[in-house]
Amino acid sequence: MRDKALRWRWELFLAVVLVAVFIVNINISEFYLGEQNFINMFQLSIEKVIVVVIMTFVIVNGEIDLSVASVMAFSACVLAALHQGGTVPFELAVVIALLAGTFAGALQGAFVAFMGLPSLVVTLAGLIGFRGAGRILVEDNSIGDFPEWFETLGQEPLIGRFSFALIFFLVLIVVAGIVLHRTAFGRSLFVIGNNANVARYSGVNVSRDKMMIMTASGFFAGLAGILFASRLGSVRGDLALGFELDIITMVLLGGVSIFGGSGTMVGVALAILIVLNIRNGLGLANIDQNTQTGVIGVLLILSVLVPNLVARLAGSLRVARTAERGPPAPGGPKEGGDTARQEADLRPTQG
Amino acid sequence: MSGLLSLRPERLRELSLFAVMAVAVFIFSLLIDNYIGGSFFNRVTTSVAITAVLAAGQTLVILTRNIDLSVGSIVGVTAYVTGEYLHNHPDLAPVLAVGYAVAIGAGLGLLNGVLVAYAKVPAIIVTLGTLAIYRTWLINHSDSRTITSDGLPDWVVELPNSTIVSFGDFDIRTVVAGSIALIVVLQLMLGGLKWGRWVYAVGSNPDAARQAALPVRRVILGVFVASGALAGLAGFLFLSRFGTITVNAGNGLELQSVAAAVVGGVNIFGGAGTLVGAFLGAVLINLLDQSLLRVPGLSEFWRDAVLGTLIITAVAVDFLLGKRLGRLSTSARGRRATGVPPPGQGASSDA
């Protein structure tokens, strides 16, 4: 009960932050409040936010995928290399590039799900290795000259002012929210994220679910990489370099616990809006890309630091109150916020 | 076989690394004309010095079940700032110049450590954030100026080529000897001092360490400060080796340091591994790095793909062997010591 209230309190907090960002941005620039600015804001980060949706599943599941930006580059490089080779029709090349991203995710998923290796190391190896594989394919060239339909797909609006990628994202986040919060599969992801052993003993197929999520992560990263290629009109080895920072920041700012097992898609959607609006506002205020990245770094740390401090403050208040009333409950208050937090998170999903 | 089994797993691991290196050198000598020679030896060892110092710091952090992804940015910041200071104060005593770099690195490590140990923000989040923040600070601070070797004192520029002893064409460089000496001293401290044993205790079981009233927080703070300080030292070596420092200096070195530690047998779950192993991991990585460049038909673009493959292979092999060897040696030791059958192996999958 308490925990649930606390969770919605985080979403409320995000909403307040978002309104504050709005107000600041309106005062920064007259160009902020325009339909086109809002479309651009999404358009310029659309590949990132597509990956954010799947990263939410990965982190709720108790894993992490540091390789997403490299898998984006890998898929795009496969596409570019096939296009340059010229032996396969372009449509087939797109399919192969998608499969390449999916394969990258499945390979890492197999190490995580079936060998039990930590996803942190596996995807760190993937972060280095898949970008490396992409670099082998395109070396230091910039490959472009894609078919017209492909570039139109990324650069021109499809319906009204919305591009294909934007429509895809809007559908994706709604479907993802339903899958995560309203289906048995989604619920099993929370149970696994809370405690994989409990999930295993309650008959959840942990390995299969982890494999599916990591594979899906590769698929969506690959798709995002291809969409990025179509928007840019060219592919280089350093495509999407460093995107994992923004992506993970948005998920954690959205209130998803880095230890897995808790978080909401609504929170993540709010976090996406906050990060995009902050970047947009900084851009309108003529603050360069580099400083924006630094701000995202600060935001990443704060998004975990603030709830930790709030929880500890609330904890010490509770201890003080129980001390006034009488002797503490057996076992006493737990030291070490992590374990206490994980135990607290276990309750709502099991009930 | 029983002789090998009586060795501790770490020793076995270190021996196997020597075997892998021997095989690699043999294969490369077939592929490359005039492969083995003084100049190649010197090039590999000089680049090992930087990676090995970083890997030592990374190992200390990983031993406590944490990770430090900010070391690449710390190398960049310390190399740049120290170079800048030496430009303005060319008469600075060498000891003070090195001390300056180490102190700045330690300060940046202290910030990481406080956030991880006291604010309880997971290390991956903190250091992913500071990776961006430190680099952003450097880019803003530099104002797109580059440090060049012209303005540096002679002793800094000549340091990488200064040699202690030579065996024919094979030089033992001062920086190489120095970093080996440093790693040996740190290894002896880690194995012999109370503080060193605490590092292992905190990593292998944080809860037990807390129950045993070990100063868990101070140990974690300590390893982050040490990692920062060693990254500062590596930054100084970087400055003297390359002379020209741009804002991108040290980019990606964090991945190399994690790779060296993991390939060197440091358990990513903490509590097991040696600095000597990490040193050998660094040697192997640099050996492959420098050799691949010279294989006909391969290009520099292969290095990242190979590095990624190497990491995942090392982790997977460790995991498979560790399971088997661990079972064999505990059962052998258990029978020898008490005559009681060993407890079933457990707690391997839940970290």
The pTM for the full model equals: 0.84
pLDDT digits (tens, 9 = 90+) for B291-310: 887 887 777 788 888 888 88
What's residue B335's pLDDT?
Answer: 52
**Least reliable range by pLDDT among A51-60, A169-178, A303-312:** A303-312
Domain boundaries, chain B: 2-328
**Least reliable range by pLDDT among A157-171, A205-219, A264-278, A334-348:** A334-348
Segments of chain A assigned E as strands: 143-144, 234-235
* Tokens matching residue B215: 């100063």
Residue A325 has pLDDT above 70, yes or no: no
What's residue A233's pLDDT?
Answer: 93
Portion of chain B with pLDDT greater than 70, in percent: 89
A341: closest chain B residue by CA: B120
What's residue B323's pLDDT?
Answer: 66
Q: Mean pLDDT over residues B263-278, rounded?
A: 87
Residue A158 has pLDDT above 60, yes or no: yes
What's residue B201's pLDDT?
Answer: 92
Task: Give the DSSP H or E segment for A171.
Answer: helix A164-182
The chain-wide mean pLDDT, for chain B, equals: 85
Judged by CB atoms closer than 8 Å, whether chains meet at B312 and A115 is answered as: no
Number of inter-chain CB pairs under 8 A, A vs B: 142
Judged by CB atoms closer than 8 Å, whether chains meet at A258 and B125 is answered as: yes
Residues of B within 8 A of A196 (CB-CB) are 349-350
**Least reliable range by pLDDT among A96-110, A245-259, B73-87:** A245-259
- Binned at pLDDT 50, 70 and 90, residue B334 comes out as low
Residues of B within 8 A of A104 (CB-CB) are none
Q: A89: distance to nearest CA of chain B, Å? A: 27
* Tokens matching residue B262: 């993991």
Judged by CB atoms closer than 8 Å, whether chains meet at B316 and A111 is answered as: yes
Portion of chain B with pLDDT greater than 90, in percent: 40
By CB neighbour count within 10 A (0-12 exposed, 13-18 middle, 19+ buried), where does B110 fall?
middle
Q: Mean pLDDT over residues A207-224, rounded?
A: 97
B123: closest chain A residue by CA: A301
Supply φ then ψ for residue B162, to 5 degrees.
-75, 140
The chain-wide mean pLDDT, for chain A, equals: 87
Residues of B within 8 A of A128 (CB-CB) are 255, 259, 304, 307-308, 311
What's residue B302's pLDDT?
Answer: 85
What's residue B322's pLDDT?
Answer: 67
Q: Mean pLDDT over residues B219-236, rounded?
A: 96
By C-alpha distance, which of A256, A269, A246, A347 is closest to A304? A256
Portion of chain A with pLDDT greater than 70, in percent: 90
Q: What is the ipTM of this complex?
A: 0.81
Q: Are B217 and B118 in contact (CB under 8 A)?
A: yes
Tell me which amino acid residue B286 is.
Answer: N
For chain A, the 3-state helix, strand and coil shares in percent, each to the nearest 5, are: 75, 0, 25
Judged by CB atoms closer than 8 Å, whether chains meet at B207 and A339 is answered as: yes
Q: Are A221 and A241 in contact (CB under 8 A)?
A: no
Nearest-angstrom CA–CA distance, A107 and A100: 10
What's residue A330's pLDDT?
Answer: 45
Test mutation, B68, B114, B120, chain A, max A CBs within 10 A: B120
Residue A331 has pLDDT above 50, yes or no: no
Nearest-angstrom CA–CA distance, B16 and A138: 35
Q: B17: distance to nearest CA of chain A, Å? A: 19
Q: A351: distance to nearest CA of chain B, Å? A: 23
Judged by CB atoms closer than 8 Å, whether chains meet at A115 and B301 is answered as: no
Q: A29: distance to nearest CA of chain B, Å? A: 23
Task: Select the CATH number that applies to the domain covering B2-328 from these four: 1.10.3430, 1.10.443, 3.40.50, 1.10.3470.
Answer: 1.10.3470
- Binned at pLDDT 50, 70 and 90, residue B333 comes out as low
- CA distances for A241 relative to A48, A68, A254, B49, B252, angstroms: 11, 10, 23, 27, 11
Residue A336 has pLDDT above 60, yes or no: no
- CATH class held by domain A2-319+332-350: mainly alpha
Nearest-angstrom CA–CA distance, B80 and B244: 9
Residues of A within 8 A of B305 (CB-CB) are 129, 132-133, 135-136
Residue A315 has pLDDT above 90, yes or no: no
What's residue B2's pLDDT?
Answer: 52
Q: Are A223 and A50 in contact (CB under 8 A)?
A: yes
Judged by CB atoms closer than 8 Å, whether chains meet at B120 and A338 is answered as: yes
Test mutation, B298, B311, B318, B345, chain A, max A CBs within 10 A: B311
pLDDT digits (tens, 9 = 90+) for B128-162: 999 999 999 999 999 888 888 888 888 888 888 88
What's residue A334's pLDDT?
Answer: 40
Residue A80 has pLDDT above 80, yes or no: yes
What's residue B327's pLDDT?
Answer: 62
By C-alpha distance, which of A32, A63, A27, A96 is closest to A212? A63
Judged by CB atoms closer than 8 Å, whether chains meet at A335 and B124 is answered as: no
Of B335 and A148, more confident? A148
- Binned at pLDDT 50, 70 and 90, residue B5 comes out as low
CA atoms within 13 A on the CB side of A215: 11
Q: Are B47 and B253 in contact (CB under 8 A)?
A: no
Residue A329 has pLDDT above 50, yes or no: no
Residues of A within 8 A of B351 (CB-CB) are 118
Closest residue to A337, CB basis, from B120, B269, B306: B120
Judged by CB atoms closer than 8 Å, whether chains meet at A125 and B140 is answered as: no
Q: Mean pLDDT over residues A247-254, rounded?
A: 92
Flag whether residue B211 sits within 8 Å of chain A, measured between CB atoms: no
Supply angle C-alpha A175, A180, A182, rounded to 5. Answer: 85
Tell me which amino acid residue B37 is.
Answer: G
Judged by CB atoms closer than 8 Å, whether chains meet at A132 and B129 is answered as: no
Nearest-angstrom CA–CA distance, B303 and B285: 10
Flag whether residue B163 sits within 8 Å of chain A, measured between CB atoms: no
Residue B350 has pLDDT above 80, yes or no: no
Q: B306: distance to nearest CA of chain A, Å? A: 7
Beta-carbon count within 10 A of B349 CB: 11
Judged by CB atoms closer than 8 Å, whether chains meet at A121 and B131 is answered as: no
By C-alpha distance, which of B255, B302, B274 is closest to B199? B274
Closest residue to B139, CB basis, from A252, A290, A309: A290
Residues of B within 8 A of A258 (CB-CB) are 122, 124-125
Residues of B within 8 A of A308 (CB-CB) are 119-121
Supply φ then ψ for residue A143, to 5 degrees.
-105, 125
**Least reliable range by pLDDT among A70-84, A163-177, B6-20, B49-63:** B6-20
Flag whether residue B193 sits within 8 Å of chain A, measured between CB atoms: no
Of A194 and B347, more confident? A194
**Least reliable range by pLDDT among A255-259, B12-16, B233-237:** B12-16
- Binned at pLDDT 50, 70 and 90, residue A277 comes out as very high
Nearest-angstrom CA–CA distance, B11 and B52: 18
Domain boundaries, chain A: 2-319+332-350
- Binned at pLDDT 50, 70 and 90, residue A92 comes out as very high
**Least reliable range by pLDDT among B9-23, B100-114, B274-288, B333-347:** B333-347
Flag whether residue B182 sits within 8 Å of chain A, measured between CB atoms: no
The set of residues, in sequence order, having a beta carbon less than 8 Å from that of A85 and lying 6+ positions away, is none
Judged by CB atoms closer than 8 Å, whether chains meet at B119 and A131 is answered as: no
Residues of B within 8 A of A131 (CB-CB) are 304
What's residue A351's pLDDT?
Answer: 28
- Binned at pLDDT 50, 70 and 90, residue B183 comes out as very high
pLDDT digits (tens, 9 = 90+) for B237-255: 999 998 889 988 988 899 8
Check residue A159 and report its DSSP letter.
B
By CB neighbour count within 10 A (0-12 exposed, 13-18 middle, 19+ buried), where does B257 fall?
buried
Residues of B within 8 A of A133 (CB-CB) are 305, 308
- CA distances for B71 relative to A242, A331, B90, B228, B291, angstroms: 16, 40, 27, 7, 25
